[in-house]
Structure 1
Amino acid sequence: MATTHLALAPLLLLLLLLDAVFLSTEVTAQPAAPAPGPAGPINVTAILEKGGQFVTFTRLLNTTQIGNQINIQVNSSSEGMTVFAPTDNAFQNLKPGTLNKLSPDDQVKLILYHVSPKFYTLDDLLSVSNPVRTQASGRDAGAIYGLNFTGQGNQVNVSTGVIETRVSNALSKERPLAVYVVDMVLLPEEMFGERKISPVAPGPKSKSPGVSDDSEDESSKKAAAPSEKSGSGEMKAGLGFGLGLVLLCLKFIV
């Protein structure tokens, strides 16, 4: 019996080794967990819709087709982009009819003015050289359509020359697209400056030397007429009284 057990020992050892090989093969043959797929293309309107208070701005991005332009450019450009998104309250605080008075081309320029063709963090905006170009820059000859940024610490302000407001929290801050909230619609000075929205009423015309104003002469004549008549009546009354007094004296003499 001892001889039989000794003969089986190598066989058992061999079976154990084969079993270990099969187990290791099964472990290595199991498929690895799939790696996370690439993120989908960036969609600016989807980011705004998730924010929940940008209905008007989203509608304008869609009607002007600028939303599609941003999506195409931000997914293909190495520079990235920055969008300043006015809230619905910001649009409601505009003067009534402000948007309706704009031509379709001016509406496009207004929306492009809220987009910079470069990715900026908030820290970048504090140190950037002003004015910062926007997508509206260069559309009109001699017009800058730039934004000016100031501030310190965690506060960043943006100025257009017409309004100034704070750049609030970020809806997106990862490259290549930054989307920041603003509480006022950014009105470019080139479109809404003082001469555009409040033209100064023309002052009174100055008289040229040697040129008379007929209406003024007529008024002067009418104003002078009563005094002339008054003087003439007083003179006639005085002559009549004197003549009567002379006739009365002659009557007594005779």
Structure 2
Amino acid sequence: MAKQHSLPLSFPVLLFFLHCTLIFAQTPAQAPAPSGPTNITKVLEKAGQFTTFIKILKATQLNNSNQGLTIFAPTDNAFANLKSGSLNSLNSQQQLQLIQFHILPTLFTLSQFQTASNPLHTQAGNSDDGQFPLNVTTSGNQVNITTGVINATVANSIYSDTQLAVYQVDQVLLPLAIFGSPTTATAPAPAPSKPEKSVRAAGSPSGSSDASVDNSGVIGLNCKPSEVITICFAVVAAVCLWM
């Protein structure tokens, strides 16, 4: 009689776990959900000293670009250095343009500023018409910004990834269209001086000597040489007859 060998009870359990392991190994891992755009407000809050900029930024709808964003963030000290009432004097549209003027719809690294073409295009509007010019120049690692109203410097890089770059600037970037000085009016040309008046000498016949009045009010005789000789002879003859 053939001898039967019995399998231990744990063997079926081992086969079950082995089968489950093979199934799980063949199941592809799920890719992580794509992350949304970087929260700019949180980036600035973490960096600190940007309270005023955050306050105005929250009222602004940023237009995300496929080419990324570059933001120039002025510090609270930069806003404090503005002339008193500068922000309160702006209407809602101008406040929006002021913030948009600090945003470029393209991602710029610090090294890319060295080859950037001026003027840079901001979200405030077209810079080609001269209303919102933003120009950058570099000196070594330093990036300088000019707007036609103020000169600013990029003081620090706050944040950067593949879609967003945030830089600290030491001045509020004031656009020319809002804060530019009005064009000085051309001074009117001086009025031409009045010509000297000519009056006819009393009792003088037409075509004879004239009397001119100069600016001092003195009347002088304007006589032709022949008329002077005739007058002299008349005076001499009168004197002789009198004597």
TM-score (norm 2): 0.65
Q: Is 1:137–1:146's contact at 8 Å kept on the other side of the alignment?
A: no
Q: Secondary structure at the match of 1:7?
A: coil
Are the structure 2 counterparts of residues 202 and 144 from structure 1 closer, same or farther at C-alpha, using a change threshold of 3 Å?
A: closer
Q: Secondary structure at the match of 2:129?
A: coil
Are the structure 2 counterparts of residues 130 and 54 from structure 1 closer, same or farther at C-alpha, using a change threshold of 3 Å?
A: same
* 2:157 counterpart of 1:170: yes
Q: How far did residue 25 of structure 1 move? A: 2.9
Q: Deviations over 1:119-176 (max 9, x none)?
A: 211122221111101111239x933413211214432222212222221333331132
Give unpaired runs (5+ residues) of structure 1. Answer: 212-220, 222-254
Question: Which of the residues 95, 100, 120 maps onto 2:88?
Answer: 100
Alpha-carbon distance in structure 2 between the residues aligned to 1:21 and 1:157: 71
Are the structure 2 counterparts of residues 104 and 16 from structure 1 closer, same or farther at C-alpha, using a change threshold of 3 Å?
A: closer
Q: Is 1:156–1:166's contact at 8 Å kept on the other side of the alignment?
A: yes
Name the amino acid aligned to 1:53: Q
Name the amino acid aligned to 1:179: V
Name the amino acid aligned to 1:44: I
Q: How far did residue 11 of structure 1 move? A: 3.1
Are the structure 2 counterparts of residues 205 and 152 from structure 1 closer, same or farther at C-alpha, using a change threshold of 3 Å?
A: closer
Q: How many corresponding residue pairs?
A: 196
Q: How far did residue 51 of structure 1 move? A: 2.1
Are the structure 2 counterparts of residues 201 and 129 from structure 1 closer, same or farther at C-alpha, using a change threshold of 3 Å?
A: closer
Matching of residues 45-194 of structure 1 within 5 Å: 45-62=41-58, 65-66=59-60, 69-70=61-62, 73-74=63-64, 77-138=65-126, 142-193=129-180
Alpha-carbon distance in structure 2 between the residues aligned to 1:183 and 1:112: 17
Give unpaired runs (5+ residues) of structure 2. Answer: 196-215, 217-243
Equivalent residue, structure 1, for 2:200: none
Alpha-carbon distance in structure 1 between the residues aligned to 2:121 and 2:188: 42
Question: Which of the residues 190, 193, 213 maps onto 1:209?
Answer: 193
Are the structure 2 counterparts of residues 202 and 129 from structure 1 closer, same or farther at C-alpha, using a change threshold of 3 Å?
A: closer
Q: How far did residue 182 of structure 1 move? A: 0.7
Are the structure 2 counterparts of residues 87 and 7 from structure 1 closer, same or farther at C-alpha, using a change threshold of 3 Å?
A: same
- Higher normalized helix content (fraction of residues): 1
Q: How far did residue 205 of structure 1 move? A: 8.5
Question: Which of the residues 3, 7, 10 maps onto 1:7?
Answer: 3
Superposed CA RMSD: 3.6
